[in-house]
Amino acid sequence: MSFREMLDGLPIPILQAPMAGAVFDAMTIAVSRAGAMGNLPVTGVAPEDIGAAVDAIRAQTDAPFGANLLMAPPLKPEPAELDVALARLAAWYAELGLEVPDHPNRFSHDFDAQLAALTRAAPTVASFAFSILTRAQVDALHAAGSYVLGTANTVAEAIAWAEVGADGICAQGFEAGGHHAYFLEDIEASSVGTMALVATVLQAVALPVIAAGGIMDGKGVAAALALGASAVQMGSAFLLADEAIVGPVWQQAIRDAPSDATRLTRAFSGRYARGLENRFVREMRAVQEDVPPYPVQNRLTQAMRAAANKAGDPELMSLWAGQAVKLAQAGASGDMVKLWWAQAQETAQALAKSTAQRGGAA
Ligand SMILES: Cc1cc2nc3c(=O)[nH]c(=O)nc-3n(C[C@H](O)[C@H](O)[C@H](O)COP(=O)(O)O)c2cc1C
């Protein structure tokens, strides 16, 4: 079966975004059981535990599901570079009553080992962001029985994924919450809105395109399908869901946020990501280009973010959220995807009626 046929066979053409730190197995299972497709983020899972994490989903549902890795480069920063980066964070740690952490032994799990484990685990769909696999790595995933979904912020990235043999493109627009996937150009050149991105990627590659960024309800789903997307990937829409593992401080910040409250920031992780603007985002803006690249800065701020969460202080936490997060609703994820699909169908019908009524030049 082709990836397109698999997507067309989903009762609900919605992928729940894999969101490291915000969702895990309960949501993946609930969404796949409801007829959409759940996605397990395994970026934070040690290579030796990935097989069991994927098997645990398979044990709970026969429906298709995905698993996702963020591709962290194996950086080994010099001690002096770490000293400078930690000195920049010292005042923030001090606010929380903490010393800056020691130099970490490692900054992320070993990507190659995670990929090998994910390949063995063979989820229905293996998706990736932040870089690109080699053709051999894609071939190995195919041989194991997984479809490969590559995330792109630009047309050039979509073409690159097509060239290594990916089965589909997750076209992640500038609206998207969380980290942005760009890997060929800088953030400015990679900031394309979902509508422009989906349309131009569809023009450039012959693969199914999954639209991500700013889609929060059935009307957004219908709009993306009207553009030609085969499915959508929704992230922020699930942040208040019952199965989300988003803590109360982050959820309250979403509820309290004014409109237009998100910004892209590099300050927390060393890679641009979209979240609610807070004091850390504002005050680090002037130096955000100087912080070490992902995953180094991400690791260096980890204890600060965790301590702020514990202290109930949203100003020092990464509150990832997309531009349309104010539309997020609470509820059971399985019910939410069913509701969104019913809304999408109503929207399509209403639009068909209104366009027919308008008549036209003919
Ligand atoms: C809290 C959060 C965490 C995310 N973590 C991941 C991740 O681990 N892997 C990934 O490929 N995308 C991740 N994303 C991006 C989503 O896959 C998706 O592109 C984005 O949520 C779509 O935009 P939306 O939030 O407006 O729906 C994350 C997004 C959010 C909001």
pLDDT confidence band for 18 (50 / 70 / 90)? very high
Ligand 1 atom nearest the C-alpha of 216 is: 27
Computed over every residue of the chain, the mean pLDDT equals: 97
pLDDT tens, residue by residue, 34-67: 999 999 999 999 999 999 999 999 999 999 999 9
Nearest to 239 by CA among 10, 20, 65, 11: 20
| Mutation to probe ligand 1, out of 19, 70, 249, 254 (largest number of atoms < 8 A from CB) | 19
Q: Mean pLDDT over residues 166-192, rounded? A: 98
Q: Mean pLDDT over residues 342-360, rounded? A: 93
Ligand 1 neighbourhood includes 235 CB (under 6 angstroms):
yes
Tokens of 149: 């979904």
pLDDT for 361:
60
**Cα of 305 to ligand 1 centre, how many Å?**
18
pLDDT confidence band for 362 (50 / 70 / 90)? low
Question: Which stretches of the chain are DSSP H helices?
Answer: 3-8, 25-33, 47-58, 79-95, 111-121, 135-144, 155-163, 194-204, 218-227, 248-256, 279-283, 296-300, 302-311, 333-358
pTM: 0.98
pLDDT tens, residue by residue, 257-287: 999 999 999 999 999 999 999 999 999 999 9
pLDDT confidence band for 360 (50 / 70 / 90)? confident
Q: Mean pLDDT over residues 284-313, rounded? A: 98
Residue 112 has pLDDT above 80, yes or no: yes
**Cα of 94 to ligand 1 centre, how many Å?**
30
**Cα of 145 to ligand 1 centre, how many Å?**
25
**Cα of 17 to ligand 1 centre, how many Å?**
6
pLDDT for 325:
98
CB-based burial, 170-190: b 16+ in 10 Å, e otherwise: bbbbbbbbbbbbbbeeeeeeb
Q: Mean pLDDT over residues 253-257, rounded? A: 98
CB 37 within 8 A of CB 65: yes
Q: Mean pLDDT over residues 110-138, rounded? A: 98
Q: Mean pLDDT over residues 85-96, rounded? A: 98
Contact partners, residue 102, CB within 8 Å, separation at least 6 = none
Ligand 1 neighbourhood includes 320 CB (under 6 angstroms):
yes
pLDDT confidence band for 225 (50 / 70 / 90)? very high
pLDDT for 359:
76
What are the chain's domains? 3-72+107-254+325-358 (3.20.20.70), 75-106+258-320 (no CATH)
